[in-house]
Amino acid sequence: MDILLKNLLETQMKEKIQKPNCQTRTGRSLLAFYLQTKFKQIINHDKKSDKQLILDYKKDFLDNFTNRLINRPQDKILIALSGESASGKSTICSQITKCINELNLPITILSADNYFKDISALIEKYGNFDLLRDNGYDVDAPENFNLDLLREDVLKLQQGEDILSPEYLVNGTGKSRPKSLPVKSRKIIIVEGMCSIYDKVQDIFDIKVYVDLDEQERKNRFMNRATSRNQDHENAIKHWDYVKNAGKKYVAVHKNNCDIIINGECNLDYFSHMVEYINLITNNFYEE
């Protein structure tokens, strides 16, 4: 483990503080000040690390987020995790899932890709997805997601209501099964997928995180993934050209609207320890 981060973790474990009374605005303000101080500590530490995770962040992010905690303490925390294809979103979510299981974290991950619209009739008409794409179907365009439903479901989760999300089948049929996957409302809701920062939904999130990675590295990952799935090389190149252009057109244009930009090549062990530290600072309280 990074030595500086290890020291932060060890120090934090010894430094329980009395939990402010969050029923009062003063108590919530004290908690917000404490969290701001700790998050600044994380950011300053990360800048010095050779495994840097946080590439950039909005200067007013901490103020805006802590004000939200003060003014709407009852709402669950909504986090959008987005980025272009093969940037590392799914890998990061897998690591978060590992942390959830190991640390019993109150986090739910919702895949926004399950909100693709059903295109089974179109696939049947053209024969397969590749032929549908080659005939101009733009699968990643905003109009091809059920964004109104995504917004409705995420707002329900924010208010503490469990939902049944759709399930988009990744077996080449293009089918979407409505109300198929049970999703629990927990303290933190992470919505992962490129469309989580599209115009119709991005305003509902408390924190918008963009996973950034060099285009050549994304291409390498994409092609390696295609090889591991025994996909035809020529078709994989075609599909890479499609997702590259779709990413520039629909995803990268929202990068500047995101609160935090993180490194898609982040060291996963380091990332896990950062999650552990954030968990500690948000739960390391005693009550009289």
Q: Is the pLDDT of residue 285 over 60?
A: no
Q: Is the pLDDT of residue 7 over 70?
A: no
Domains of the chain with CATH codes: 19-110+188-286 (3.40.50.300)
Q: Are 108 and 188 in contact (CB under 8 A)?
A: yes
The DSSP symbol for 249 reads: I
Q: Which of the two residues, 67 and 12, has the higher pLDDT score?
A: 67
Q: Is the pLDDT of residue 16 over 70?
A: no
Other CB atoms within a 10 A radius of the CB of residue 104 amount to 9
Comparing CA positions, the residue from 63, 6, 26 lying closest to residue 207 is 63
Alpha-carbon distance of 281 to 288, in angstroms, equals: 18
In which band, very low, low, confident or very high, does the pLDDT at 284 lie, cut at 50, 70 and 90?
low
Comparing CA positions, the residue from 184, 171, 187 lying closest to residue 129 is 171
Q: Is the pLDDT of residue 10 over 70?
A: no
pTM attached to this predicted model: 0.91
Side chain identity at 267, as an amino acid letter?
N
Angle at 109 between CA 245 and CA 78, to 5 degrees: 85
pLDDT at 279: 79
Q: Are 142 and 251 in contact (CB under 8 A)?
A: no
